[in-house]
Amino acid sequence: MLRSLVRLQSHVRKPLGKVCQGSQAPLYSTAASERRKFYQDVSISQGEGGVFEINLDRRKLKTPGGKLFTVPNEALAIAVATEWDAQRDTLKFYSMHLTTLCNTALDNPTERNKDQMISAALKFLETDTVCYRVDEPHALVELQRNEWDPVLHWIENRYNTKDTFRQHLKSYNFWSLTGLEFVITQLKSVVLSLAMIDTHLSVEQAVLLSRLEEEYQIQSWGNVEWAHDYDTYELRARTAAGVLFVHLSSESSTVKRKLMQD
């Protein structure tokens, strides 16, 4: 009995402090790290203030920073719980994007506030992927014009100036901004990110547009599974997680759910 307890303890301590033992120093995993699965049952419960918690067996999940892992609504909690439930023998943290995003929002490792994040997003707009056009070859020039121009026109019609854009971003909460920033850095484009979050584009379309030049090169030089397909799937997974995170953690989605329940 005692031995099995000790064994359990050592298992719990290993997983990079995800289920932290209080005073442990925060330990951030590298992209490819895996840990042995140390739990059987995943459940969610509603804690104080209406927030949701994740339980692994009977232990509460914590962030790498040692905080209690809490999410604002049930949908996000279930999506995170599903990620933990889907792990087989080892925990593949690099495939648990929603968990990672929640950890980032909870721990805020870069210690920035909303205004700084909005300014960063606006600054990114100046170097947006869809604004950088090639001069040659002719086929790619045309491809970029045909594929990127409609999205650019759409965003111009919707947001008009940078000020309206800033105002729009101010309506986001900290969690949604964390998600938005993640999506922007994945797609390297504010325009594509916003078009997707406003449900104008699907994830597949946005990822394709973000990789337009690469797709063009693949057409003439061939596709390599371990590089191109690997990248595409990873980018899709990350982008989808980011968009979902923005929607699930923004105010409008809670209002939306209430409306639908009536």
Partner 1 sequence: MSPPLRVCRGILKELRASMGQSYRQSLAYNYVLDQFRKNKVTGDRYCRAQQEAHHDSHTYLCLLTATRHHLALHQLYHGKGERSIEQAADMVGLRLPTQPGGKGWEK
Q: Which is nearer to partner 1, 20 or 80 (CB)?
A: 80
Q: How far is the CB of 95 from partner 1 (least distance, A)?
A: 5
Q: Which is nearer to partner 1, 163 or 198 (CB)?
A: 198
Q: Which is nearer to partner 1, 20 or 102 (CB)?
A: 102
Q: Which is nearer to partner 1, 162 or 256 (CB)?
A: 256
Q: DSSP per residue over the chain, as a string? A: -HHHHHHHHHHHHTTTTTT--SSPPP-PPPTT-EEE---S-EEEEE-GGG-EEEEETTEEPB-TTS-B-EESSHHHHHHHHHHHHT--SEEEGGG-HHHHHHHHHHH-TT---HHHHHHHHHHHHTT-GGG------HHHHHHHHHHHHHHHHHHHHHH-SHHHHHHHHHTS-HHHHHHHHHHHHHHT-HHHHHHHHTTSS-HHHHHHHHTHHHHHHHHHH---IIIIIHHHHHHHHHHHHHHHHHHHHSHHHHHHHHHHH-
Q: How far is the CB of 245 from partner 1 (least distance, A)?
A: 10
Q: How far is the CB of 70 from partner 1 (least distance, A)?
A: 16
Q: Which is nearer to partner 1, 113 or 252 (CB)?
A: 252
Q: How far is the CB of 71 from partner 1 (least distance, A)?
A: 13
Report phi then psi at 234, rounded to 5: -65, -45
Q: How far is the CB of 4 from partner 1 (least distance, A)?
A: 24
Q: Which residues bind partner 1 (CB under 8 A)?
A: 32, 42-44, 74-75, 78-79, 81-82, 85-86, 92, 94-95, 97, 199, 202-204, 225-226, 229-230, 233-234, 236-237, 240-241, 243-244, 247-248, 252-253, 256, 259-261
Q: Which is nearer to partner 1, 151 or 203 (CB)?
A: 203
Q: How far is the CB of 220 from partner 1 (least distance, A)?
A: 23
